[in-house]
Amino acid sequence: MKLLLLYKLRQGVTKDEYRKWSLERDQPTLTSCEGVSRYRVFDVGSADGEAAYDIVEYVEVDNWDTWRRVTTTGPMVPIGEDFQRLVDTTTVITLPVEEIA
């Protein structure tokens, strides 16, 4: 299963703060979880300086049940707490996607 997650950072959280957390804590933890085969994080830019989202994540995971388990148990619990502090959770959109090939 492939997922895209789109979201904005909380007001006052800088992209540098988010980037440091993502590289040092989030990405290493999530990629070590069983059932997650790929995880990439993208900083969204915009030609006119204003984008609808700040961050896009791409995740490949075994299935939806695995994703729910991984994100709510074990080593991801403190990562989720950090996520709540850094991200405006009212903006989070999770989209299951399938590549058109």
Q: What is the CATH number of the domain that holds 21?
A: 3.30.70.100
- As beta bridge partners, residue 32 has none
Tokens of 76: 């991801």
How many domains does the chain contain in total?
Answer: 1
Question: What's the predicted TM-score (pTM) here?
Answer: 0.92
- As beta bridge partners, residue 60 has 2, 38
Sign of CA dihedral 66, 31, 29, 53: negative
**HSE-CB of 13 using CA atoms within 13 angstroms:** 20
Q: Which domain holds residue 22?
A: 2-97
pLDDT tens readout for residues 1-54: 999 999 999 999 999 999 999 999 999 999 999 999 999 999 998 777 788 999
- As beta bridge partners, residue 6 has 56, 93
pLDDT for position 84? 97
